[in-house]
Structure 1
């Protein structure tokens, strides 16, 4: 019931102000009449008229708080000058005006208005108030009654400011969560796009090279051409399986993880054999002591080699390439080189192969460098950070 009335007053502020003005008039009118009865020779009609003016001004307290405060202050001073004692009943309109000013005006301005209004009311009471009344009723009591609504208004203003600050923090936190979620979605889409690019580009390049080889061998060596057709089928089937596994992550993010092993350097021999079927012979050289790599670095190293060799089949006029893996205590350097001249570009549109390789290297804290070889050819060099190699005999450190 109380909540319903509060909501009704919030929805109808003019009606609320009218009710408040009527309540103040109900308090100020009887207060004036009681003082007239208790004091001989004090007229009643000026006090009632002043109460009506002061209470009627409260109708505009939300839109003109300063003007309403001035009118109610003058009304209270006039009461004191006419000989009325400034009691809480007569000061009710001024108290409402002080509450409104301290609630809606800046603190420094509000405190200045409160001080001036209080001083004016006390001065009026001292100059024209009843001589027989104690001094404390003319000074201390009005000051206390006028400072009370000012304190309540300041407290309410601080409470509203606190609620607004909490609401702002909540909105900022929600916005931050949304931005973080959007950033993670963008990163996931970029990761899936890189995977799709690597899978499609690699297998289509192999399939294209194998198909061209089959076309050349059909007349002179049908048996070898038939063997390459079987390998072409295996290449396209592998492409379809990898694409299906990658797209499934985008369609059903809560699905169970695929059972196929994640590509890594352990599958590097099979990758080189696949390129050999397309006519690209790859020499693999390993320097240093190879060791198991973290999953993220292992996958990105494999994909970088895959993309670099794919670019060789598409853009270099050569049938040979070299892959060198150089292991140190804390880094793995991958170098993919070829000595063939570049083929003429079939399209002016820029590709994303080198960009994707560079992003993969940077995603694990490494960096990638590409350069044209002085005697022709192209080189892709990637440095990836590795965790320190375990020393022989050192105890295993379990994760906490």
Structure 2
């Protein structure tokens, strides 16, 4: 292409006539075009060499034009694409000057029209360099965009893996809490039935009926929790709401039927809770009472819910003595309660009391006043705030 452009430019002579280019023009066009093959590896040397070839236009009697110096323009473009700005300026400014410096020496009648032509020829490499710099900036921009897209994709993948891991931990925690609770109740009810089997058949029947209800609830809870692993559009996926403080009375009734005397006290004015905090409060009460049933040598416990301006405190205490049986392996109940409380921005403390027994206390954050209405509307269990006052 550069060779053809050079020959087209060579058709116009300095006397403004069209004629076949002289024989040396073919040689200059071939040599300068062949030099372009090295413009990627040595752009500076290629630019200087094509400029020297372009300087031979005037001695051959050809009219200087951008076409006849096309190889010099192409090399200037390549130089601007692949070199720093200071190198481009240092090479192209002298090259542009050399392209036109020799013309006045070979023309006896130099006019303003010739001056305009020379200015055009001198400006052509600089214009080509401007396009080259623009192309370089665009390539750099596209590279940055591609790198950002790659990093964003990696971040999305990492975030997706993190969320999957968090969801697995959450489901594992749910399974632990509900299975430990239901199995503990079932074990207590079975023990009561076995104890009363010979002496009180009617009470044995009642205990067995409670055992059937407990195991049914356990299966329902397992089905609901495992259903979280299904696709959202699965028609068989469960739609039951997550439990919250409004279900605590039913939870306490189940423990009472299993033989644990438990009371509940509520201080302050109940307020709507976000679903995650509501579920956390319920699970902490459930797990704490389950630990009382399994480990504490006592038959009574107390649940207290205290509402403050910025947080709600959930505490479960018992008056048992001693510690868990040494043959029991350590469980994950307290760890799970700590993780639940921390996940919603709360804190949990657990330990023996000075006056005897064990205390589990959790401080969970309440929504701000301006978000209270939104939390009420977003509740998944549909329980109004008035229902909390019955606890």
For 1:336, what is the secondary structure of its paired residue? strand
Q: Quick check: 2:8–2:68 contact (8 Å CA) kept in 1?
A: no
Aligned counterpart, 2:90: 112
Which of 139, 142, 146 aligns to 2:121? It is: 142
Aligned counterpart, 1:11: none
Deviation digits for residues 132-188 of structure 1 (CA, Å, limit 9, x no counterpart) = 344616741321222221122223333334444444455555555555555554444
TM-score (norm 1): 0.77
Query: Whole-Å Cα distance in 1 between the matches of residues 268 and 159 of structure 2?
Result: 41
Aligned counterpart, 1:200: 179
Aligned counterpart, 1:321: 301
Which of 300, 305, 317 aligns to 1:337? It is: 317
Which of 61, 70, 74 aligns to 1:96? It is: 74
Q: Quick check: 1:36–1:44 contact (8 Å CA) kept in 2?
A: no
For 2:55, what is the secondary structure of its paired residue? helix
For 1:360, what is the secondary structure of its paired residue? helix
Which of 77, 82, 85 aligns to 2:55? It is: 77
Query: Whole-Å Cα distance in 1 between the matches of residues 262 and 65 of structure 2?
Result: 103
For 2:265, what is the secondary structure of its paired residue? strand
For 1:365, what is the secondary structure of its paired residue? coil
Pick which of 90-99 and 322-331 moved more. Answer: 322-331
Aligned counterpart, 1:302: 282
Query: Whole-Å Cα distance in 2 between the matches of residues 351 and 82 of structure 1?
Result: 98
Which of 275, 288, 294 aligns to 2:255? It is: 275
For 1:358, what is the secondary structure of its paired residue? helix
Aligned counterpart, 1:229: 208
Q: Could you tell me how far 1:56 is from its partner in structure 2?
A: 0.7
Root mean square deviation, CA, Å: 3.7
Which consecutive segments of 4 or more residues in structure 1 shift more than 6 A? 36-39
Aligned counterpart, 2:109: 132
Q: Quick check: 1:122–1:138 contact (8 Å CA) kept in 2?
A: no
Query: Whole-Å Cα distance in 2 between the matches of residues 175 and 27 of structure 1?
Result: 48
In 2 relative to 1, CA 129–151 (structure 1 residues): closer, same or farther, beyond 3 Å?
farther
Query: Whole-Å Cα distance in 2 between the matches of residues 81 and 204 of structure 1?
Result: 104
Deviation digits for residues 310-368 of structure 1 (CA, Å, limit 9, x no counterpart) = 122233333332212223344321111223322135465x6432232223323443221
Pick which of 185-194 and 84-93 moved more. Answer: 185-194
Query: Whole-Å Cα distance in 1 between the matches of residues 8 and 71 of structure 2?
Result: 14
Q: Could you tell me how far 1:305 is from its partner in structure 2?
A: 0.1
In 2 relative to 1, CA 164–55 (structure 1 residues): closer, same or farther, beyond 3 Å?
same
Q: Could you tell me how far 1:247 is from its partner in structure 2?
A: 1.9
Q: How does 1:13-92 map to 2 (within 5 A)?
A: 23-29=1-7, 31-32=9-10, 35=13, 44-79=22-57, 86-92=64-70
Query: Whole-Å Cα distance in 2 between the matches of residues 81 and 142 of structure 1?
Result: 16
TM-score (norm 2): 0.78
Work out which structure has the larger RCO, using CA pairs closer than 8 Å and 6 or more positions apart in sequence: 2
For 2:322, what is the secondary structure of its paired residue? coil
Deviation digits for residues 65-99 of structure 1 (CA, Å, limit 9, x no counterpart) = 33322321232234456776543232111111111
Q: Could you tell me how far 1:251 is from its partner in structure 2?
A: 1.2
In 2 relative to 1, CA 36–140 (structure 1 residues): closer, same or farther, beyond 3 Å?
closer
Q: Quick check: 1:84–1:130 contact (8 Å CA) kept in 2?
A: no
Q: Quick check: 2:312–2:363 contact (8 Å CA) kept in 1?
A: yes
In structure 1, stretches of 5+ residues that fail to align are: 1-22
Pick which of 252-261 and 197-206 moved more. Answer: 252-261
Q: Quick check: 2:13–2:61 contact (8 Å CA) kept in 1?
A: no
Aligned counterpart, 2:348: 368
Q: Quick check: 2:2–2:33 contact (8 Å CA) kept in 1?
A: yes
Q: How does 1:111-190 map to 2 (within 5 A)?
A: 111-126=89-104, 128-134=105-111, 136=115, 139-171=118-150, 178=157, 181-190=160-169
In 2 relative to 1, CA 308–55 (structure 1 residues): closer, same or farther, beyond 3 Å?
same
For 1:334, what is the secondary structure of its paired residue? strand
Q: Quick check: 1:329–1:389 contact (8 Å CA) kept in 2?
A: no
